[in-house]
Amino acid sequence: MSDSSGLAREWPGRRPIVIEHVRPAVDDGRYPVKREVGDPLEVRADIFKEGHDLLAAVIRYRARDETDWREAPLRLVDNDAWAGSFTLETNTRYFYTIEAWTDVFGSWVEEMTRRTAAGQTDLSSELLEGARLARAARARADSGPDAALLDRVLEQVDRSRSQSVRVALLLEPGLREAMARAQERRDLTRFDRELEVVVDRVPARFGAWYELFPRSQGRAAGRHGTFDDAIERLPDVQRMGFDVVYLAPIHPIGRTARKGPNNALTAGPADPGSPWAIGAAEGGHTAIHPELGTLEDFRRLVKAAQGLGLEIALDFAIQCSPDHPWVREHPEWFYQRPDGSIKYAENPPKKYQDIYPINFNSAAWRGLWDELLRVILFWVEQGVRIFRVDNPHTKPLDFWRWLLREVQDRHPDVIFLSEAFTRPKVMKALAKAGFTQSYTYFTWRNFKEELTDYFRELTQSEMAEYFRGNLFVNTPDILPEVLQRGGPPAFRMRAALGATLSSLWGVYSGFELCEATPVAGTEEYLNSEKYEIRVRDWDSPGHLKDYLARLNAIRRENRALHGYRNLRFYAGDDPHVLFYGKMTRERDNVILVAVNLDPFAVHQAELEVPLDEIGIAQDETYELHELLTDQRRLVRGSRHAVTLDPATEPAHIYRVSRWRRRERDFQYFN
């Protein structure tokens, strides 16, 4: 671009260096990526400019509450691709971008090196240029090691009459490093946007969830359970190795249109109704069902859980019974029929006459949003830091982006689990909007190919940057067909899959008792706990409590299973045997898992152990330690035969370790 005189005009926003394809970034940086405290954020980009000058580049980053930017170096990998990382130290949000500039002294060194290698004799002009660059850098350097080094080199260059000595001084590796820090950043170019990473606490990525109804934790038939009963139950949940105890709604339950057993339209006077029909004369979303106890009793439950290393998660369901105080105080927040009545919830063919959905298109939406934020913050004040959100896909995405950000700006340690069994793009959009974790289609994935394809998408595509899948093997709403038909072998098989395919998994109580009686032709539980109080014998014969405890212990003891993005699938020659593994970055903890997906028959398979990935030679002896049975076996080579009997051992979980003959002992990868 030039004016009439031929002189170049200044180009607004001139960017001499091209910076593109910066990763990680979700939708080109429109949404944050997700990591956990202590993780390195590995950043990659393509960086280049015209000509042959060398470039230098850094990641610039800062935490949300910091005003000053910090820097981490980027290194050239190959073909204009650069990579670097920085550590995410704090549970907060970080911002990052990239800056690049021409490495003038590095380019001079590169050119001088080629000249000397070619035997060029007269380098006087080039040496003057190198010394000039060093003096300019010295003027910019603060007092310190770099300044001292530059002073020393320049003094010796000025004093020496030998061209070879001056060349050696200016090509000294330490000088190049000092110059990289002190020289002018010529052609400085910054990437055209700031990217964001949400840094959650580690339980956002690793945890085992146990869902229960507090009202069903009593031991006497016909008696409503209390928070004290739930406190007595906590040690049993802890012994099974779970980390999070998720409570069905604990609020007052409406009486209008209350449902009876098995979703019957008519309820008897003693029927407790559905906990999701929230609100009664005693209050709404910030009130406690009086038969459970008081707010102080709830606080004791939270504290008792913390004392056992457990966290309490609450259900956040944005819906009301017809008796909720909001219906009287804010009728504008609901859907009005032409006759003036309020519309109840439907999911055809299901009808929920006891529930009113919220109208987010109401003209009074601002007051509604503020009230829902107040509800979450109220429970945060009571010590709750985890929320499972009911049906978030039926509420606007803009609302979730606002609410989750408002909460986490105040309390970055709060975790939100999205209970959205809906269309894939909607589930992804909710995760991008800020949900920490998400339910998945795992519940309905049963066969080798569909499990492999689905989990590759979850853990190895861009989806892994923002979507953490929590694998619930069952829920109060979903009794999968494989559990209905497969008996205890299916329960063990699905638990092994859930506990090892993802770093997050969960069960709904009764799973350990292999409860599997459906309403005929549906995935609904017969005599569902959603509509009646259940009293169970938690130690009844045939329970899986010990099996679940062993699975969760294996998860805790092996750091490879703490990872979400490190899942890889490997070859096995039987279509009913799924073979996969996880390993730490350092390969000092390697776990391989083989699962028989058929709960009705024994299957044998020849597995291909990924020795190259593990770092074991084909002729090297190594050990496979089967962790569920504590059996050990020395093997050599990549082929390993396995027999999986669903009635006894539907899954094998191996820890791989080297055999060191000279020590006559094992060196374990942990």
Under the phi-then-psi rule, with left for phi > 0, alpha for psi from -120 to 50, and beta for the rest, what region is 643? beta
Cα–Cα separations (whole angstroms), residue 59 to 17, 40, 63, 74, 466 = 15, 13, 13, 7, 21
Query: 265: buried, middle or exposed (CB in 10 Å: 19+, 13-18, 0-12)?
Result: exposed
Residues 6+ away with beta carbon under 8 Å from 615: 587
DSSP string, 465-515: GT--B-EES-BTTB--HHHHHHHHHHHHHHHHHHHHHSSEEEEETTGGGT-
Q: Which helix (H) or strand (E) holds 640?
A: strand 639-644
Amino acid identity for residue 259 in this structure: K
C-alpha to C-alpha distance for 273 and 484, rounded to whole angstroms: 25
What residues pair up with 416 in beta bridges, in sequence order?
A: 387
- Phi and psi angles of residue 4, each rounded to the nearest 5 degrees, phi first: -65, -20
Residues 6+ away with beta carbon under 8 Å from 658: 616, 620, 622, 623, 666, 667, 669
C-alpha to C-alpha distance for 37 and 201, rounded to whole angstroms: 6
The sign of the dihedral angle between the CA atoms of 257, 298, 417, 331 is positive
C-alpha to C-alpha distance for 226 and 218, rounded to whole angstroms: 7
Going by C-alpha positions, the residue among 437, 452, 310 that lies closest to residue 383 is 310
Say if strands 356-357 and 319-320 run parallel, antiparallel, or are unpaired.
antiparallel
Query: 262: buried, middle or exposed (CB in 10 Å: 19+, 13-18, 0-12)?
Result: middle
C-alpha to C-alpha distance for 138 and 105, rounded to whole angstroms: 13
Half-sphere exposure of 541 (CA within 13 A, CB side): 0
What residues pair up with 575 in beta bridges, in sequence order?
A: none
C-alpha to C-alpha distance for 154 and 131, rounded to whole angstroms: 7
C-alpha to C-alpha distance for 58 and 71, rounded to whole angstroms: 6
Q: Which helix (H) or strand (E) holds 404?
A: helix 397-410
Going by C-alpha positions, the residue among 495, 508, 418 that lies closest to residue 649 is 495
Site of tokens 């009705």: 600
The sign of the dihedral angle between the CA atoms of 403, 404, 407, 409 is negative
Helix axes of 365-381 and 397-410: crossing angle, nearest 10 degrees = 40
Catalytic residue status for 419: yes
C-alpha to C-alpha distance for 333 and 513, rounded to whole angstroms: 42
Give me 628's structure tokens: 């569920």
Q: Out of 323, 390, 532, 598, pick the active-site residue.
A: 390
What residues pair up with 471 in beta bridges, in sequence order?
A: 505
Residues 6+ away with beta carbon under 8 Å from 156: 165, 169
- What is the greatest pairwise CA distance in the chain? 106
Q: Out of 99, 419, 465, 626, pick the active-site residue.
A: 419
Going by C-alpha positions, the residue among 166, 139, 20 that lies closest to residue 82 is 20
Catalytically active residues, by annotation: 390, 419
